Structure 1
Amino acid sequence: MPLSDHAQPTSVATLIHDVQRGLYGPDPETLSVVGAFWIRQSTQFPGTQQKYRNYYLLLRVGAAFGACCVERDQLDSAVAEELSGQPVSTLLKDERLAVRIAALDAYLNAVLPHRDDARATPMMLPSGTPPVRAVARDEAIVGLLKLQTAQRVGLIGVVNPLVKAIQQQGAICLPCDFNMAHTQDGLIVNQDMQPILEQADVLIVTGMTLSNGSFDQILAAARRRAIPLIVYAQTGSGIVPRFLGHGVTAISAEPFPFSQFSADPTPIYLYRSQGHESSI
């Protein structure tokens, strides 16, 4: 469902506040986390040198999951043992950002599922090997874009196939990532996103910007400079659509189970704000 006139969040904190006020559905005090999971995962595709390491906190509320990918030492894995049985309202006030993000994502995925959102276009990733499914996912993300030659694209959270896809459209990739020094084809990866926020003509970011606290700054920069912001979200797949048309231009939302955790067909949901259906 689209945002109401009374629910147009300007930040993650205001979104949490609006959820607590009941603007998105039932009182979060009435919903509890029935399962909490900690996942440590790595991926390295055949014939490549890049190893991706991911650490996830997953919370289940009813039939839905909330996900937050974190840095290696951001949370102790024992956190999963303490969170089940807690009301969502309690976890939305937790001092740990990652817990708040996972709880918010679980709540929104439970009360506003993508399948009921008229703005979302579902796409089933094919069954198959991890590379097959990853390529299909990345092609869907690229399908949200129609870049112009020599456009500068800030890529915050580097995925090598996206670097290649940006370059294939004639655009210039400005990569930024805390955990990578070079892209697969040798581009230097900046660890400071601030110059990229000021130089880029388009921003493409991962949902992990929610878990490291940089999403609000990125959102504010996109609004201030009036540039497109595209988010590919495993973390926060239920959160980011609340900002669609209010700073976020397009989204590839992938709720759990993620493509790397299944060989069977699984859905992703593609969103575009009005006025940006055909081009960026």
Structure 2
Amino acid sequence: MNTVEDLVADVLAGGHGPDPREVVATSVFWIHHGTRLAGGGTTYRNQYVLARVGTAFGACAFAEGEIDPAVCAEASGAPVADLLADAPAAVRVAALDAYLGHVRPHRTLDAEPVVLPAGTPESRARGRDAAVAGLLDLPPGAKVALIGVVNPLVAAIRDRGAECLPCDLTLRTTQWGDPITPDMGEVLDVADAVVATGMTIGNGTFDEILRRCRDRAVPLVVYAQTGSAVARAFLGSGVTALSAEPFPFSQFSAEETVLYRYRAHP
């Protein structure tokens, strides 16, 4: 399996669990969310479409204007197979993520649960990103491409003694003034390891990141709120480690929440 479309085809063929024609997305909805952490000059603007399938929520980030909110009413109650075949791309990913999360819940698998303690947005973001950076096993001075920049994760990577190579489609500097490239090829070509956001699944760049990391035999760590169960399907097939944070995401709660860390078996 080399691409997200390969995974969709496998699911439609019944290769990952119950017939998706018989499994319904009970609820489909969207969230527009803005965040500016204390001490930072960046306002993160994220839009998510979410699907509820059985015991799981699936999610996909999308760009402004990419889908009409009216699609949520049209998609709610539809069979997963219909959404995978005909829905807008972001809804397809959310439905795929929800289906895979329902069939194999993060909470019941052989993942390492990490409890994020109750607290402020800043303290919870630091805890989350320290858990993500903890999946890196690299010598001091190693170059880590960070595709999808959040400032606390830049800091967490540096705290582990690595050099962070930030890449993002919208941000141009980190909180500390470091330049951020929009061209992931610049960092993928020179990185000793790659840390990529699950948002790459929604914007169509995940397949290329996966391919490049496989070709160069470079470790790929995915930190995923959106698309966490989709990314898990590639664990051991290009993805070497995963931080999976299913909905509701840590930024939507001040109470304890859990993320799940996976490592591919040698």
Instruction: Please tell me the residue identity of whatever aligns with 1:156.
Output: I
Aligned to 1:203: 194
Question: Offset at 1:135?
Answer: 1.4
Length-normalised TM-score, structure 2: 0.96
CA distance in 2: counterparts of 1:180 and 1:132, whole angstroms = 22
Instruction: Please tell me the residue identity of whatever aligns with 2:254.
Output: A
Q: Does 1:225 align with 2:216?
A: yes
Deviates more, 1:44-53 or 1:239-248: 44-53
Question: Offset at 1:267?
Answer: 1.3
Q: Does 1:149 align with 2:125?
A: no
Instruction: Please tell me the residue identity of whatever aligns with 2:74.
Output: E
Q: Write out aligned runs for 1:20-99 (5 A).
A: 20-94=12-86, 96-99=88-91
Q: For 1:108-140, what per-residue CA distance to the aligned partner results, in whole angstroms no more than 9, with x for missing partners?
A: 01111012222x111221122212211111111
RMSD: 1.2
Aligned to 2:105: 113
**Paired residues of 2:133 and 2:160 also in contact (CA < 8 A):** no
Aligned to 1:273: 264
The one of 180, 200, 210 equivalent to 1:189 is 180
Instruction: Please tell me the residue identity of whatever aligns with 2:65.
Output: D
Deviates more, 1:141-150 or 1:83-92: 141-150
Instruction: Please tell me the residue identity of whatever aligns with 1:81.
Output: A
The DSSP-based 3-state class of the residue aligned with 2:21 is: helix
The DSSP-based 3-state class of the residue aligned with 1:184 is: coil
CA distance in 1: counterparts of 2:97 and 2:36, whole angstroms = 28
Instruction: Please tell me the residue identity of whatever aligns with 2:42.
Output: Q
Deviates more, 1:149-158 or 1:52-61: 149-158
Aligned to 1:135: 126
CA distance in 2: counterparts of 1:158 and 1:47, whole angstroms = 16
Instruction: Please tell me the residue identity of whatever aligns with 1:244.
Output: L
Q: For 1:196-248, what per-residue CA distance to the aligned partner results, in whole angstroms no more than 9, with x for missing partners?
A: 22111110000000000000000001111000000000111111111111100
Question: Offset at 1:264?
Answer: 1.9
Number of positions where the alignment pairs a residue of Structure 1 with one of Structure 2? 266
Gaps of at least 5 residues in structure 1 are 1-8, 276-280
CA distance in 2: counterparts of 1:162 and 1:106, whole angstroms = 26
CA distance in 1: counterparts of 2:215 and 2:40, whole angstroms = 39
Aligned to 1:6: none
Q: For 1:151-201, what per-residue CA distance to the aligned partner results, in whole angstroms no more than 9, with x for missing partners?
A: 111100001111122223332211110110101111111111112221111
CA distance in 1: counterparts of 2:88 and 2:162, whole angstroms = 38
CA distance in 2: counterparts of 1:197 and 1:95, whole angstroms = 31
The DSSP-based 3-state class of the residue aligned with 1:132 is: helix
The one of 163, 168, 174 equivalent to 2:159 is 168
Gaps of at least 5 residues in structure 2 are none
The DSSP-based 3-state class of the residue aligned with 1:175 is: strand
Question: Offset at 1:95?
Answer: 5.2
Aligned to 1:278: none
Q: For 1:10-65, what per-residue CA distance to the aligned partner results, in whole angstroms no more than 9, with x for missing partners?
A: 21111111111111110000011111111000111223211111100001111210
Q: For 1:83-104, what per-residue CA distance to the aligned partner results, in whole angstroms no more than 9, with x for missing partners?
A: 1011100111125221111010
Misfit runs of 4+, over 6 Å? none
The DSSP-based 3-state class of the residue aligned with 1:268 is: strand
CA distance in 2: counterparts of 1:207 and 1:245, whole angstroms = 16
The DSSP-based 3-state class of the residue aligned with 1:29 is: coil
CA distance in 1: counterparts of 2:206 and 2:227, whole angstroms = 11
